Each structure stands twice: as C-alpha cells, then as structure tokens.
Homo-oligomer: A and B are copies of this chain.
C-alpha cells in the first residue's frame, strides 16, 4: 500500500539513507508553546494577531510544509474560525514541475516561486508563518518541535514548540538514494530550487572546464558526459532540456565542445516513463495514451537526438569520477563510465522526522506514513498527512466484508437480497472505490453483473446471496486498488480537499455527508478523498486560460496551485529572449504530442501547454 515510483518499486531491497537528515544546533528550549509566547509579548507594540480572547477560543491548526499540499490547503482554507500556524524551512511555494527548466535557464527561479506570506496574507483566516523546520512531532501532547535554520545569534531561542489542535503534515519527501554508495556525495538531485540552480552552475562549469587548454580529447569527453539516473518524468524531462540547451545554446558559446558532449540516461526497468499513469485522468480525456505512446515517442526521439538511453541498468556505485551500473539482464555484469555530472532522479524517500513519527505511532515497520481515506493518520484523529510524505491506505473490502454484509442485511435474515445490496451499493462504492473501478474495468453495470460473474449466469434480481457468495463476488475487487502517484497534482488536490473538510467541519459534524459507516454507526462526516475528476481539471484550466500578469513567465501561480493540470505560456513573451529560452514546441519533447493535440482542437496556438505531473 505504499506510494512508490518506478525505481522504488524496483529497488525495494535498498534501505533508507538517514544521512540526509539536517543537523541543527539548538541552545535553548522554550517551553509553553505559542500561548506562552503570546503572553510574553503582550507588552509588545508589534501587533500579534492571535492575542484576542476570540482567538484563544479558535482551534489551533498547525501546517507543516509549504509545498503543493500545504500551500493548496492554505489557499483553500476559508473558514475564519481557525488560528493557523504554518511552519516550513522554505518561505515560498515553488512550482516544482518547472524545476527541470530552471536547470537550463529556460525559466528563472524567481518565475516559479511565490512567497508563502504573499499567498496567506490575502486570506480572511488568521495565518502565521514561521521559517523553521519541524524535527519532532509529539502526538501524545499535541506539540511539534521546530528549529529555525536561519543564520543568527546562537544564543537566542532557536527552538520553537507549538501546540496544536489539528496538525496538517505536508512536508513532502526527500530524494531517495537507496543507500547506494557515493550517490549522496557525488550526485545532483532535482528536488529544490537550490538543486536546480546548482545543476545550472555545474553544467556551465563543465563546459568551461572542457574548454581549458592542456586537456586530452578523452578528458574533454569525460567532463562533458552528463548522466541522468532515473527514467521517470523528471529525469526524462531534464535529459531533454539539457539536450536542447547544449545543442541550441551552449554549442554557440562553446563550439569546440559539440563533438565531445554526451548525455546518458540510465533506467533500471525496461523502459523510460514506465510508470502507471492510469491516474493521470487528464491524459485519458484527451485520448492520449501517455503510458505507451509517450514511452515509444520519447525513446525514439532520444535515440535520434543522440541521447544514450540505457534501460535495465541499475546504478550500484558512484565515485567522484565514475558511475558503475549493473546490467540487470545479462548475468548482472558491472561496468563503469566516467562522468562530468550526474543528476539523480529515481524517486522519493521518507524524511527522518516522519520515520520517527511513524515509530511513535506504531507504523515503524512501514516505509511510508499511512493515512485513512480522509487523510487522517491512522489512530490519530487530530493529525492529517498529505502529499508526498504520506500515502492513503485504502481499506480493503475483504477486511470489512462481514460488516458490509451485516449492514446491508437489514432484516438480519442471514442472506442478502439484491434490493438490500443495491441500497448500500453507492455507499460501498464510495467507501471502497476499488469496487467501482472493478465494475468499470470489467464493464459491469452493477450488482447483478457482479453476482452473475461470481455465480455464473443463473442469478436473477430476486435471488438472495449468502455471506459466502457475497464474499466470493467481492473477492477479486481489492486487486483493483491503486495508489495515487506522488505528484504535484495529487498533493494539490489533497490540500484542497482537506481545506474543504476544515471549512465545513462543524456543518458536517451535524449533517454527515460521507458514506455509511459499515463497521460503526451512522455516516462518515465527509466524502473520502478520491482525486479531482477529469472534468474538473479541464474546467479549471479553461477558467485560468488568460494572459498572465508576470512579464517574465506566462503562468499565474495563484491558479497553477489549484491543480488544474496544465500550464500555459504565451509564445510572444518568449520570442525575444536570448540564451536559454523556451523554444515554442521544441523544448518539451514529451509534451509536443500533447501540444499538437490541443492545437488540432483549436486551442490558441501561441501558448505552450504543460501537463502538470
């Protein structure tokens, strides 16, 4: 039930690498949390928002993280009856799907970030932000322990303890090295703005190094060998961006380098973009089968472009000079190649603070923090986790089959009529979406088909089924369970969903709108999270199809964060730019097909469309 990327799935046996944990030095521990803070500062001339008595009655919501999930939650939270504290080491939201473009200067970092204070200050909800990093969650006492990593006076209070009534954990994930030796030391990651900036500097440094005199051909080729590890969307996009950057811009500045440059893409599975994209509903509605056609398109394009795609090659070691891979097919031969730069983009791992939290709450044997379908951490009513730091542990039908049967069998006859079953079918399909998915995938229309399937063709609507027959009919259903991919879109949708729950918390306590509680009494307060529908995506996009206000880059972050699935960019803004520009219809290989598709549908041709992964 874990959320995993291609590489993670493949490399399950590698253990987590805890060495990435940031080491911070703390001198003073402040007690009492925020209430104490507010009191201590009551003589301050600076206005502290949560000092009034009215505020003291408000529920304290603490949000950890300012990525897609956290920011989406904050943007969509409208109910002013909360006192919200946002804590994150990053005081901005970053539009991460454009990170590969930052590596090559196609997009400036400034164009894809938005100060979190700018996002929250326009709200009618009282929201405070602190630039600090949570290093411990204490669910028992409902406190989080945070440290400021701002350079400053070491003798000052650097530790912040914050009390919460509700905790929203949306701190994302870390790059996963799978403990492969040398990866952390010698590879670049592509997760944060700073990573992208470092990669950009390193690319140019490689070209400058290769231009120095006194180098042999071999040395020059080694320096200009760029290796990308991981054939997922990020790795593929970075390789494509780098290729264009080299061939359209850098060769003009470094004409001698052209013949020495090489880009290699390493992927452990058989294909690049070998990722289950069933959840990318947006692709489906456009009739674009991303998974197969794009893989073939990208592999073929890369071949023509001279990008060396090595599939079935698992990295086993990275030294400061060479990267070693194991051939997974032919007897596992290990080979090494020298490189100038390696970008590591093989998927995500759990952050240490989450691992620690998982141990505290009995999830120590899991790899990813699990929540229920309402994004509550299992067994912790007041803690929610969403985005890349958690995964929804969809409850299996078979675990509850007895309870479902009992609930449906209103007359306690020990057998279920089709009518009885049909009365709870909607609730079942909502509580266990795998049922609906199963019916849809097998092209069944409803219950009768399901029972027919299990009992043969003899079932009629009046027939009753026993518990055993009911079990048998549902036995295959759980195989349809899908994890949501660790994408920006999913995280943003989760944030928006959770904010909506918070907005209507009181209302839904009184009038629950969710499905029947099969194991308990009454109904669930909310509908469970199910991801935004395809139609919603398109509608969102249509709404936001307007000229952006920023003269630098053509998208509006305030709409982009809502998870609409497409970014657009006016070509007119890009035509003038010099080195490192976006080239309309060129840069984003993967997306070219999509853009053409949209053009044929008479969308404005002067826009570039980006599907948001």
* A interface residues with partner B (beta carbon < 8 Å): 30, 34, 37, 40-41, 43-48, 91, 105, 108, 110, 115, 117-118, 121, 129-132, 148, 150-153, 156-157, 160, 202, 204-205, 208-209, 211-217, 219-220, 223, 252-257, 259-260, 320-321, 549-552, 573, 576-579
Contact = CB atoms under 8 A, between A and B. Distances in A.
Nearest to A48: B256
A579 to B, nearest CB: 7
Contacts of A209: 131, 148, 150, 152
A321 B157 CA distance: 15
A216 to B, nearest CB: 8
B217 A45 contact: yes
21 contacts: A34-B213, A37-B214, A41-B213, A45-B217, A45-B259, A46-B220, A47-B255, A47-B256, A91-B208, A115-B253, A121-B255, A132-B212, A148-B209, A151-B202, A151-B205, A152-B205, A153-B320, A157-B215, A549-B576, A550-B578, A551-B576
A108 B110 CA distance: 8
Nearest to A217: B44
B577 A217 contact: no
Given A152-B223, A256-B46, A130 B213 contact: yes
A579 B46 contact: no
B252 A121 contact: yes
Given A115-B579, A213-B160, A550-B577, A46 B260 contact: yes
Contacts of A43: 217
Nearest to A551: B576
Contacts of A252: 118, 121
Contact of A253 (B37, B121, B160, B551): B121
The 8 closest A-B pairs by CB, nearest first: A131-B208, A117-B253, A37-B213, A157-B214, A46-B256, A150-B209, A30-B214, A150-B205
A9 B256 CA distance: 48
A104 to B, nearest CB: 13
Contact of A204 (B91, B148, B202, B219): B91
Contacts of A260: 46
A256 B152 CA distance: 19
Given A46-B217, A152-B209, 7 more contacts: A46-B256, A121-B252, A121-B253, A130-B208, A131-B212, A153-B320, A551-B577
